[in-house]
């Protein structure tokens, strides 16, 4: 009897047949390119019907399936029923649209299973540092600032507010925890700020009651006088105001808080100034619109996305912190970051902290690569023109809405977001709300375009947020025509 027979053959997840797997890869790239090249001819989205939902119920697959068949399932059940945000007429909520070379970059990053975060002396960490430096340069932030690429602006806001808390609490938050708080720490943002701020405030142990939602002016920006009053009121009642959060581009309307006024108040009140510039920060590179976000460079921490208005595929966001020491002190678990350098033969002279010393995750994907490759391929000047093009398109659509008697604009366009509604003289708001909600559903379900809706002062408006490099003016003409057609059919 052969004693070897009991030993199972060693296994691997690599293909048994490299040639056919290679052919499948080529096919996948071809199909993805076909998808992107013909996007415009297809409906924006198609909801998954019940049989598709049913397909995703069932036990884990115990045995193998040929890779070509797995891919067929993707083509049949997954590809057609996604959000469709790469489509030229997708403008719902605030969503990006992706780039072709960015898709390749994600594949390349996966090919080497690249890990970013630790081991500073690897090329992928240098790529991330360069992308961070480019972001600083483009957004008017000092090179001495620190930063980290994140999974999105929610994570960026969490990191920024964590640094604010640990820097200004006045006690050792990392050691003592929030129970050592003798005075309640308070934070300030407008009523229109994003829910990710609430989540960050709750996760960091401030408690949601510590977040002061300050009232807004007629353009839905934070009311600066009301902010100052709120801070004074809190000081009188023994609270400890520590952070002012400005929004550069609110999700609902694209409103931009007065950044310079907020920076001045923060300096006077010895508060941290955090800016949530999820998409709006990028107006800073638009040739004719930089002034709209003047002052964001004064933030102590600046959070933004690269998967919304910089059009990169999900996920990728960023946080920049003006004082790199504050940033590292909030997250580093190494007493001296030089400790990481030990053992790096001949390289110990380069004092590069690990990227994981700037956030809460250790292992992260190599998302920097899609930013780096896309920025190189396109050039940042073109990016500036595209951001400007989206702002110009918002004004174009707003003019159409203003000049059509059936349509009404909610408020003047401040950035790249247009809110308008179908209206009929003499019909009350309650009924108009129902009609506009129905228009949203019809226009989406008929596959024409994807706007979303928002409620502004009790009225429902269609919401068109233009963070799409594929949209053209005639797409907005079509939207206007179809909204009027559907609105008339409904009334
Ligand atoms: C989208 C958005 C966020 C959250 O960003 P994610 O990338 O979705 O995590 C935060 N703030 C504003 C203003 C946003 O529009």
Q: Is 297 in the pocket of ligand 1 (CB under 6 A)?
A: no
* Token pair recorded at residue 453: 């809706």
Q: Is 257 in the pocket of ligand 1 (CB under 6 A)?
A: no
Mean of all residue pLDDT scores within the chain: 94
According to CATH, where is 3.90.1150.170 located in the chain?
381-490
Distance 11 CA to ligand 1 centre (A): 43
Residue 145 vs residues 293, 298, 327, 358, 429: alpha-carbon distances, Å: 19, 12, 9, 12, 49
Q: Which residues pair with 364 in a beta bridge?
A: 116
Which ligand 1 atom is the nearest neighbour of the CA of 156? Answer: 9
C-alpha to C-alpha distance for 338 and 451, rounded to whole angstroms = 50
| CATH code linked to domain 381-490 | 3.90.1150.170
- Residue whose CA lies nearest to ligand 1 atom number 15: 251
Kindly state the percentage of the chain with pLDDT values over 90: 89
Q: Which residues of 73-110 are buried (b: 16+ CB within 10 A; e: fewer)?
A: eeeebeeeeeebbbbbbbbbbbbbbbbeebbbbbeebe
Mean pLDDT computed over 387-411 = 98
Q: What CATH architecture does domain 18-84 belong to?
A: Up-down Bundle (1.20)
Distance 253 CA to ligand 1 centre (A): 13
Q: What CATH architecture does domain 114-333+343-377 belong to?
A: 3-Layer(aba) Sandwich (3.40)
Please give the helix or strand (H or E) that residue 176 lies within, else none: helix 173-176
Distance 278 CA to ligand 1 centre (A): 5
Distance 309 CA to ligand 1 centre (A): 11
Helix axes 100-111, 368-378, angle to 10 degrees: 140
Segment 58-112, tens digit of pLDDT: 999 999 999 999 999 999 999 999 999 999 999 999 999 999 999 999 999 999 9
C-alpha to C-alpha distance for 89 and 444, rounded to whole angstroms = 10
Segment 335-379, tens digit of pLDDT: 454 455 544 544 554 567 889 899 999 999 999 999 999 999 999
C-alpha to C-alpha distance for 271 and 274, rounded to whole angstroms = 9
Segment 466-487, tens digit of pLDDT: 999 999 999 999 999 999 999 9
- Residue whose CA lies nearest to ligand 1 atom number 12: 278
Mean pLDDT computed over 201-208 = 97
According to CATH, where is 1.20.1340 located in the chain?
18-84
According to CATH, where is 3.40.640.10 located in the chain?
114-333+343-377
Q: Is 94 in the pocket of ligand 1 (CB under 6 A)?
A: yes
Whether this prediction's pTM lies above 0.75 is answered by yes
Q: Is 193 in the pocket of ligand 1 (CB under 6 A)?
A: no
């Amino acid at each position: 009897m052969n004693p070897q027979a009991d030993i199972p053959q060693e296994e691997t997840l690599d293909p048994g047949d490299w040639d056919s797997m290679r052919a499948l890869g080529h096919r996948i790239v071809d199909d993805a390119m076909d998808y992107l090249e013909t996007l415009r001819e297809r409906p924006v989205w198609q909801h998954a019907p019940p049989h598709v939902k049913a397909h995703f119920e069932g036990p884990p697959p115990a045995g193998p399936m040929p890779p070509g068949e797995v891919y067929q399932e993707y083509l049949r059940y997954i590809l057609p029923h996604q959000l469709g945000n790469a489509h030229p007429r997708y403008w719902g909520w605030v969503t990006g649209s992706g780039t072709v070379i960015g898709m390749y970059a994600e594949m390349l990053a996966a090919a080497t299973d690249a890990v970013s975060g630790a081991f500073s002396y690897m090329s992928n960490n240098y790529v991330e540092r360069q992308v961070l430096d480019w972001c600083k340069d483009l957004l008017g932030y000092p090179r001495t600032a620190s930063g980290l690429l994140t999974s999105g602006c929610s994570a960026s806001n969490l990191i920024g507010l964590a640094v604010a808390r640990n820097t200004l609490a006045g006690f050792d938050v990392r050691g003592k925890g929030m129970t050592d708080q003798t005075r309640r720490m308070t934070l300030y943002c407008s009523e229109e700020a994003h829910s990710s701020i609430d989540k960050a405030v709750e996760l960091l142990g401030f408690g949601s009651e510590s977040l002061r939602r300050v009232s807004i002016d007629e353009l839905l920006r934070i009311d600066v006088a009301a902010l100052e009053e709120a801070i004074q009121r809190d000081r009188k009642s023994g609270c400890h105001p520590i952070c002012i959060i400005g929004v550069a581009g609110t999700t609902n309307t694209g409103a931009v808080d007065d950044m310079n006024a907020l920076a001045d108040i923060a300096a006077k009140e010895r508060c941290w100034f955090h800016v949530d510039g999820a998409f709006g920060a990028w107006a800073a590179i638009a040739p004719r619109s930089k002034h709209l976000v003047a002052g964001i460079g004064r933030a102590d921490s600046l959070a933004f996305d690269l998967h919304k208005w910089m059009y990169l595929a999900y996920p990728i966001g960023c946080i920049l912190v003006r004082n790199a020491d504050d940033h590292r002190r909030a997250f580093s678990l190494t007493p001296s970051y030089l400790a990481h350098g030990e053992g790096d033969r001949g390289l110990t002279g380069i004092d590069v902290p690990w990227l994981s010393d700037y956030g809460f995750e250790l292992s992260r994907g190599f998302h920097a690569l899609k930013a780096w490759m896309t920025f190189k391929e396109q050039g940042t000047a073109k990016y500036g023109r595209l951001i400007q093009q989206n702002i110009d398109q918002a004004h174009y659509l707003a003019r159409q809405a203003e000049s059509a008697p059936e349509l009404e604009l909610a408020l003047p366009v401040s950035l790249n977001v247009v809110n308008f509604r179908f209206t009929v003289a003499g019909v009350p708001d309650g009924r108009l709300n129902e009609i506009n909600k129905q228009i949203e559903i019809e226009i989406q379900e008929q596959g024409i375009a994807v706007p979303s809706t928002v409620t502004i002062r009790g009225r429902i408006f269609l919401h068109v947020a233009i963070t799409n490099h594929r949209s053209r003016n005639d797409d907005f003409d079509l939207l206007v025509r179809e909204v009027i057609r559907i609105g008339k059919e409904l009334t």
